Structure 1
Amino acid sequence: MHEDTAYPLYNRPWFSVWLDAGGNITMKGILAPAIKPFTSDLLDLFENEKPIGTIDANGMIVADGEQLIFSTWMPPIPSAAFDRLTRSQFNARLGKNTPDQVTISVTEECPNRCIHCALPDTDNRESLSPDAVKDVIDQVIGMGTT
C-alpha cells in the first residue's frame, strides 16, 4: 500500500473526505469547515488507523489496489456498499436511522455450538430458500443497509 494514495470516504463537489493508507484524513470543499464538527466522531474510526490492505478490480489482494479494505466489518472503500453506509450515517445525524448491518441465519442445521449464537438452543431445523435470502437482501439494501 502506498500511503500517499487517497481513497474517497465521501466525495461530492461541495464536500469530500479522503483517507490515505496511512490513516490520514483530508477534508476538502467549500462546506468542509461547517461539516467537520458534525462528522468528527464518525471520522475518528479511521484517524491514524492502519487498513488491512487493498484489492484490485478482481477482488485480489494487491499492494496498490483500487479499493481500501479497512476492516472485516466495513465495506471496501470506495464501493456502492460503502456509499450506502456513508449515506446511512449522514441520515442518522438527521434522525433517519437505518441498520448498518444485517445478519441472516440461512439454516438452523449448523453443527457448531458458538457461544454467541442463539440457534443451538432451538429445536428447529429449518432453512431459508435461496429466493427468500435474495428477497431479504434486496429489502435491506433498499432500506440503505450496507
Structure 2
Amino acid sequence: MGAVVVGVIGTLLGVLIGGALQQRQASRNRTWQREDSLINAKRNSYSEYLRSISASYGQAVSGQRDRSEDGRLHAAMAEIEVLAGREVSEPARDLVNSVSEAHSMIAAGASVEEARVAEVDRRRYEVIELFKADLGLKTHP
C-alpha cells in the first residue's frame, strides 16, 4: 500500500511540476513575442521618420515643398513618442523642429548657412545612433 501511495504522489508531483514549467515557458514566449512586436514597430517608425526627413529635404531643394512629408514625419514622430523612451523621443522631436525650419527656409529660397545644414545633418546622425542603440543594433564608436 505504501508503494502505491508513493507512486501516486510521485505522479501528481510530476504533473504539477510539468504544468508549472509549461506555464513558465508559455509566459516567456508571450514576453518574447511582445518584445519582437515592439522592436518591429519601432523599426518601422524609425525608418518612416528617416525616410520622411530625406524626402522633405528633396522637396525643399526642388522648391516643391507641399509639406506632405512633414505630415508623414510628424506621424512617425507621434509613433516614436509612444513606442520609445524619452532618451530617444526628445532628441528626435527636437530634430523634427530643426528639420522643418531648415527645409522651409531652403524651399523659400532663403539663404541657409552651410553650417546650419551641416548641424542639422549631424544631429540626424546622432538620432540614427540612438535608434540603433534602442533596437539593440551595433552602433559606431
| TM-score of the alignment, normalized to the shorter chain, above 0.5 | no
More helix, by proportion: 2
More strand, by proportion: 1
Q: TM-score, normalised by structure 2?
A: 0.28
Q: Which has the higher contact order (CA 8 A, sep 6+)?
A: 2
Q: TM-score, normalised by structure 1?
A: 0.28
